[in-house]
Structure 1
Amino acid sequence: MACGVGYCAPVTPGEPAGNPRPARRRLSVDRRREELIAAALELFGARDAEDVSIDDVASAAGASRALVYHYFGGKQELYVAALRSAAERLESRLRPQEGGTPLEELASGLGHYFDFVEEHAAGFAALLRGGPANRAGEVGEIVDGVRRRLFHLVLRQLNADEPSPVLRATLRSWIASVETAGLDWLEHRDVERGTLERVLVDQMVALLGVAAAHDPGVRLLLEQLEGEPAAREPAAR
């Protein structure tokens, strides 16, 4: 038996006693699972899911292939678990903000969204990588769930009730722009984050302006927003 600082390891026959093997880390079930998911998100965020193998995830996490199968059963189950983890973290940021004008609350919510984008880049990229064409079944439900939460949050922040078809299409178009802007920012990071957030808020106002020409209810909503003192500040300050 060869002993080091804090551990003892058996000596393999023929192995010098002065070079003990490092002891395997003992992690709780939850902690090991989190490590595997974190490794999977890094890989799924950088590459298409079909190009990531269980061996890739095991290697990145410093675990065995058998352990990944033990926790998740297979690559699809791991993929779904990783995306669900990212979605839950993002949804936890999408909380209603109180105390400001509608556009101030919208800007605050967008800031929390981009906090997640910046702090969990791999998770955000994995969640949205590939586009709607590749979103089916359980994976599609996870992504759509995040979009629905953001949609209802925006409705609340704009003080809108049941959206008309025009308003619904407008808000969904804006959410798609936010997602695309987030992915673009992660790829290039050549615009200051605060500037990008202000651009997206101004885009919302511009989209509502177009929709107002086709829907009296949106026109009333826009008039209420533009009546706020801070609603039309310039995007670049």
Structure 2
Amino acid sequence: MTTGARRRMGVEERRQQLIGVALELFSRRSPEDVSIDEIAAAAGISRPLVYHYFPGKQSLYEAALRRAADELAARFVEPRRGPLGARLLRVMGRFFDFVEEHGPGFSALMRGGPAVGSTTTNAMIDEVRQAAYEQILAHLGVTDPSARLELVVRSWVSLAESTALLWLDGRRIPREELQLQLVHDFAALAAVSAAYDGEMASLLIHMLADEPADGPFGDLVDRLATLLTKIPAVTAQTPV
């Protein structure tokens, strides 16, 4: 009788194990600082065996990014029930969960690492952005967006990405505040666009119609109303 025998993994199972190990290491440290030897040791196999499944570090890195990209895109999936503001706030909560769990990996995905500038990496980044864009349109109930709406949604997706990257550099603002602020940013971008376009104005009215006073969008209205009460006092003191 043998004891403690290690189960032999199939090819695909081993590949997935290596991808998971690599992603975990890349999530804690910059991919440039993670070696094949470390990945092999963490997976409990030899360095040559890693190369049996992946021709090099970049191919393993790209496979790990593929998994990270798929997981990140999935964070934007939200049941289309209830007020839009609350839905977006939940999406931002899951988005920042991912950012916090995979800080260096998220930075590598969005800024590039060993595969910076590669067609594969750029395509994965574009896929994540497109998935987020399509999810937001679905929440708005729009299948054929106008040029202004496309600008609003894509600008907001880019803003969420850049905000998360800046937050990782020191985390000087509580993430809960940034999550709420990004939801407010979406409403603000839509409102500014609505001031220029009747179609956007109709969409904004529809978007806000069922929002509760104590929801994220209602909170923004209260904050702006408080701010506006202070503006006359400021302008009155300004010399003509």
TM-score (norm 1): 0.75
Aligned-partner residue type, residue 172 of structure 2:
D
The whole-number CA distance in structure 1 between the counterparts of 2:69 and 2:171 is: 23
The whole-number CA distance in structure 2 between the counterparts of 1:236 and 1:120 is: 35
The whole-number CA distance in structure 2 between the counterparts of 1:236 and 1:74 is: 55
Gaps of 5+ in 1: 1-5, 8-22
Please give the per-residue CA displacement for 1:83-119, whole angstroms capped at 9, x wherever unaligned.
1111122233332323211222222222222232233
The whole-number CA distance in structure 2 between the counterparts of 1:170 and 1:95 is: 19
User: Residue 53 of structure 2 is aligned with which of 71, 80, 105?
Assistant: 71
Provide the residue aligned with 1:155 in structure 2.
137
Provide the residue aligned with 2:219 in structure 1.
233
Rate the CA distance shift 1:200–1:136 in 2: closer, same or farther, 3 A: same
User: Residue 47 of structure 1 is aligned with which of 30, 33, 38?
Assistant: 30
Write out aligned runs for 1:59-138 (5 A).
Answer: 59=41, 61-130=43-112, 134-138=116-120
Residue 43 of structure 1 contacts residue 52 of structure 1 at CA under 8 Å; is this kept in 2? yes
Residue 103 of structure 1 contacts residue 201 of structure 1 at CA under 8 Å; is this kept in 2? yes
Name the count of aligned residue pairs: 215
Residue 110 of structure 1 contacts residue 197 of structure 1 at CA under 8 Å; is this kept in 2? yes
Rate the CA distance shift 1:158–1:80 in 2: closer, same or farther, 3 A: same
Rate the CA distance shift 1:194–1:220 in 2: closer, same or farther, 3 A: same
1:28 matched to 2:9: yes
1:203 positional shift: 0.7
1:37 positional shift: 2.2
1:201 matched to 2:183: yes
Residue 213 of structure 1 contacts residue 219 of structure 1 at CA under 8 Å; is this kept in 2? yes
Write out aligned runs for 1:134-149 (5 A).
Answer: 134-149=116-131
Percent identity reads 43
The whole-number CA distance in structure 2 between the counterparts of 1:33 and 1:59 is: 15
Rate the CA distance shift 1:196–1:37 in 2: closer, same or farther, 3 A: same
Residue 90 of structure 1 contacts residue 116 of structure 1 at CA under 8 Å; is this kept in 2? yes
Please give the per-residue CA displacement for 1:50-101, whole angstroms capped at 9, x wherever unaligned.
x655345335545422121111122221121111111122233332323211
SS of 1:188's partner is coil
1:222 matched to 2:204: yes
Rate the CA distance shift 1:35–1:122 in 2: closer, same or farther, 3 A: farther
SS of 2:79's partner is coil
1:139 positional shift: 1.5
Rate the CA distance shift 1:236–1:41 in 2: closer, same or farther, 3 A: farther
| CA RMSD, Structure 1 to Structure 2 (Å) | 3.1
Aligned-partner residue type, residue 168 of structure 1:
E
More moved, 211-220 vs 72-81: 211-220
SS of 2:218's partner is coil
Rate the CA distance shift 1:77–1:107 in 2: closer, same or farther, 3 A: same
TM-score (norm 2): 0.74
Aligned-partner residue type, residue 47 of structure 1:
S
Aligned-partner residue type, residue 208 of structure 2:
E
The whole-number CA distance in structure 1 between the counterparts of 2:93 and 2:79 is: 11
